[in-house]
Structure 1
Amino acid sequence: MRRKDREVTNIIEILQIIEKAKVLHLALVDADYPYIVPLHYGYEYTEGILIFYMHCAKEGHKLDLIRSNPNVCIEIESDVELISGGDVACKYGASFASVIGRGRAELTEDVQEKIRGLSLFMKNQTGREFNINEEMAATVEVIKVVISEFTAKSRSKA
């Protein structure tokens, strides 16, 4: 990371960034160009590993890409706000907090894991617990992304 003064290394602070944000940008490999899609997510952190769960329709381009190459990159940002530079364009900036990570995606087949992923998804998005059953889980595809390598960065308004 070039700007070490903005690096966030405390895992509690990193998890706060992830908790606050609600959209994850999932970058997939699509031949000669990256393919990036914004998705809502749920997550858990265990033993240094971030696991994200997203859901989608049962067919589509991102699913085809995951099947052909499971290597992915994620980006999450929160607290984005313009920092005014007054009358000087080059004095403008932005405050932000972000997490970037690399890992692997898979399509979750196990029904109980799908239910767990969807439960985490709903908890992160709404702050509420929901009862997800097998019938509900069967209607969607659940993408599980395991991130073992990640960095975080923050710039405050001050």
Structure 2
Amino acid sequence: MRRVDREVTERSELLGILKGCRVCHIGMTEGNRPYVIPMNFGAEWEENGVVIYLHCAREGKKLEILRGNPNVCFEADCSHNLIEANKACGYGYEFSSVIGSGRVEILEDPTEKAHGLSCLMFHQTGKHFSFTDTETDSVSVLKIKLEDISGKRHTG
């Protein structure tokens, strides 16, 4: 990272940034073409690192791409605020962000899917929910174990 003064490395700070973000961007590739989509997500820290949960329809372009190449990039940013100045080049922007990469697993087990959906809903709402097998069967749940993760923060 070029700006090491803005680097976030502490686990608690990385999770804090993730908790403040509601939308992430998932980058994937189809052949040699990039495809990036915004998605709501849930995050938790397991023994081996950060796990991201996403949900989507049971069919569609995203799943087709991921079945062909499960390698993805994850990005989330939040805490946005314009830093004003007297000159154009003095302006800046406050932000916090997390980026990482990993492999998507399309969950099939109803218990695992329910856990992922619960994590996502808690992240988005702060409330705990449970899911029936019928409910978990109606959606696809994606799990990304981030193999690498980095964070960055800029404040005024």
> Same fold by TM-score, threshold 0.5 exceeded?
yes
TM-score, structure 2 normalization: 0.97
Identity percentage of aligned residues: 41
> 1:12-50: per-residue Cα shift (whole Å, max 9, x none)?
011000001011100001222210011001121012411
In structure 1, the residue matched to 2:45 is: 45
Q: Distance in 1 between matches of 2:81 and 2:132?
A: 39
Q: Which amino acid aligns with 2:101?
A: R
Q: What are the residue-to-residue correspondences of 1:98-109 with 2, within 5 Å?
A: 98-109=97-108
Q: Distance in 1 between matches of 2:43 and 2:77?
A: 15
Q: For this pair of structures, how many residues does the alignment match?
A: 156
Q: Distance in 1 between matches of 2:120 and 2:77?
A: 17
In structure 2, the residue matched to 1:34 is: 34
> 1:47-92: per-residue Cα shift (whole Å, max 9, x none)?
2411111111111111011100011000010101111123x11111
User: Could you say what secondary structure the match of 2:151 adopts?
Assistant: strand
Moved over 4 A (4+): none
TM-score, structure 1 normalization: 0.96
Q: CA deviation at 1:4?
A: 0.4
When residues 47 and 141 of structure 1 are mapped into structure 2, their CA distance, relative to the original with a 3 A threshold, is same
Give unmatched runs, 5+ long, in structure 2. Answer: none
In structure 2, the residue matched to 1:54 is: 54
Cα RMSD between the aligned structures?
0.9
Give unmatched runs, 5+ long, in structure 1. Answer: none
Q: Distance in 2 between matches of 1:48 and 1:131?
A: 25
